[in-house]
Amino acid sequence: MKPESESIRIQAEQSSHREHSVPVYLTSSFTFEDAEQMRAAFADETDDNIYSRFSNPNCQEFTDKMCVLEGAEAGYATASGMSAVFASFMALLKSGDHLLSARSIFGSTHTIISKFLPKWGITYSYADPNKPEEWEKLIQPNTRMIFVETPSNPGLDIIDLDWLGKLAKKHKIILNVDNCFATPVIQQPIFYGADLVTHSATKYIDGQGRVLGGVVVGKKELIKEIYTFCRSTGPALSPFNAWVLSKSLETLSLRMEKHSDNARLLAERFQNHKELDWLRYPFLPSHPQYAIAKAQMKLGGGVLTFQLKGGIERGRKFLNALKMASLTANLGDTRTIATHPASTTHAKLTEEERILSGITPGLVRISVGLENIEDIAQDIEQAIDFSK
């Protein structure tokens, strides 16, 4: 079967009731027939479930589906996207290691890298995604991992995964790719040499803004280390959230096609608007990495960004003028969402850090929903006009 078919048909083992839809396994623990079975489970001699902090049928079903879609050997589901990112760092990095990260990353990931990793003796360097020729110079003898987002949040920088995969392999460094914006429907980083792929399942994988969740998939030996870390530290995905996310995956390919179609049409409509300094979308020829995006992405995705003339105050006025689009920190919802990163998601960064990450004062991120494209466009048009 094709991955999209397999991700629909994969299910937890059917019970004696022969249910067609998998039930929610709302249990903190699991029982055993006898002491020997229990001993073997705790000795890791079997795959029996012990405790829902370790594993749960709903979580395993969701993870299995994500592995199929990403082409990964193994995976582990977590309570949120940030717990997935954090676990992928802490399970595999130690004091004295060095992390090389793209400069354009989500604000909370930046906080982990710049504020918390140094407390454990892990150093870092930031690389400019627009200057790939400089990346190799930043690799140190103790560089253990390269971390990137592509497309990045919120600047939509595109990193050449084929080139980066070869660079990581050359230096024997773990390549960790956040694939949240693209999803495995649009892009499969493992195909280009990624060792790990992280996701905030809260976004497109859920697709309706209902639950939090995260997942890390990749090489089996690396996932084993991540599982061991998470089993002891406890960032487990709840069975109910796993059930929701697993069901959501059954419509992911259809939703991403519509998100991408709407976003492309919106980008084409507003790319030359007189009140915008610029507009960026991966599948517009004006995007700086358009050729790379077309080579490694099947669709352009559901997010576009633009710079309003007038800076941070106009950005606020624009948000206040919207009538249909939601104002929230989330993205990947069926409903269109507008965010002003400089005053919200990346507000804790210094002004210099924001500029270096490509977050200008008037930058607006639009997560394009599944509404009628004319309704979306009209709402954005009237908000631009009102914010003058």
Same domain assignment for residues 171 and 43: yes
Please state at what angle helix 373-386 crosses helix 311-321, rounded to 10 degrees: 130
**290 in the same domain as 183:** no
pLDDT band at 13 (very low <50, low <70, confident <90, very high): confident
Contacts by residues 220-225 (CB-CB < 8 Å, ≥ 24 positions apart): 220/73, 220/74, 222/92, 222/174, 222/195, 222/196, 223/73, 223/74, 223/75, 223/76, 223/196, 224/74, 225/91, 225/92
Q: Give pLDDT, residue 28.
A: 96
Statement to judge: residues 206 and 119 lie in one domain: yes
Q: 19 falls in which pLDDT band (50, 70, 90)?
A: confident
Q: What integer pLDDT is reported at residue 388 of this predicted model?
A: 84
Distance CA 80, CA 112 (A): 14
Q: What percent of the chain has pLDDT over 70?
A: 97
Give the pLDDT of residue 32.
Answer: 94
pLDDT of residue 7: 83
Domain extent at residue 365? 252-386
Q: What integer pLDDT is reported at residue 107 of this predicted model? A: 86
Which run of H or of E encompasses 381?
helix 373-386
Among 155, 124, 157, 151, which residue's Cα sits nearest to residue 355?
155
199 and 314 in a single domain? The answer is no
| Domain end call among 218, 251, 284 | 251
What does DSSP say about strands 74-78 and 214-218: parallel, antiparallel, or unpaired?
Answer: antiparallel
Whether residue 274 sits in one domain with residue 219: no
- Tell whether the model's pLDDT for residue 1 goes beyond 80: yes
Report residue 172: phi and psi, to 5°: 55, 50
Q: Which of 212, 236, 251 is the last residue of a domain?
A: 251
Tens of pLDDT, residue by residue over 321-372, are 999 999 998 999 999 999 988 776 666 667 777 766 677 788 899 999 999 9
Per-residue confidence (pLDDT) for residue 10, from 0 to 100: 87
pLDDT for the residue numbered 357: 67
Q: What is the CATH number of the domain that holds 279?
A: 3.90.1150.10
Average pLDDT over residues 20-30: 94
Residues 190-214: pLDDT tens digits? 999 999 999 999 999 999 999 999 9
Q: Are residues 225 and 204 in the same domain?
A: yes
Q: Are residues 241 and 270 in the same domain?
A: no
Alpha-carbon gap, residue 205 to 333, rounded angstroms = 9
pLDDT for 346 equals 66
Total domain count for the chain? Answer: 2
151 and 11 inside one domain: yes
pLDDT recorded at residue 313: 84
Q: Please tell me which residue, 144 or 107, carries the higher pLDDT value.
A: 144
- Helix (H/G/I), strand (E/B), else coil: 345: coil
Q: Which two tokens stand for residue 365?
A: 């991120």
pLDDT band at 384 (very low <50, low <70, confident <90, very high): very high
What was the pLDDT predicted at 66? 98
Domain match, 225 and 261 both? no
Identify the pLDDT of residue 213.
98
Q: What is the DSSP letter of 181?
A: T
Q: Look up the pTM and report it.
A: 0.94
Summary count for the chain: helices (H), strands (E): 15, 12
What is the C-alpha separation between 13 and 10, in angstroms, rounded?
Answer: 9
Q: Which residues are registered as beta bridge partners of 176? A: 147, 196
SS3 at position 241: helix
Question: Per-residue pLDDT tens for 287-327?
Answer: 999 999 999 999 999 999 999 998 888 888 999 999 999 99
Q: Are residues 177 and 277 in the same domain?
A: no
pLDDT digits (tens, 9 = 90+) for 91-142: 999 999 999 999 999 989 999 999 999 999 999 999 999 899 999 999 999 9
Q: What are 44-96's pLDDT values in tens digits?
A: 999 999 999 999 999 999 999 999 999 999 999 999 999 999 999 999 999 99
Q: Are 318 and 310 in contact (CB under 8 A)?
A: no
- Domain harbouring 227, CATH code: 3.40.640.10
Asked if residue 277 and residue 233 are part of one domain, the reply reads no
What would the two tokens of residue 58 be? 């709903």
199, 226, 251 - which closes a domain: 251
Shared domain check, 331 and 202:
no
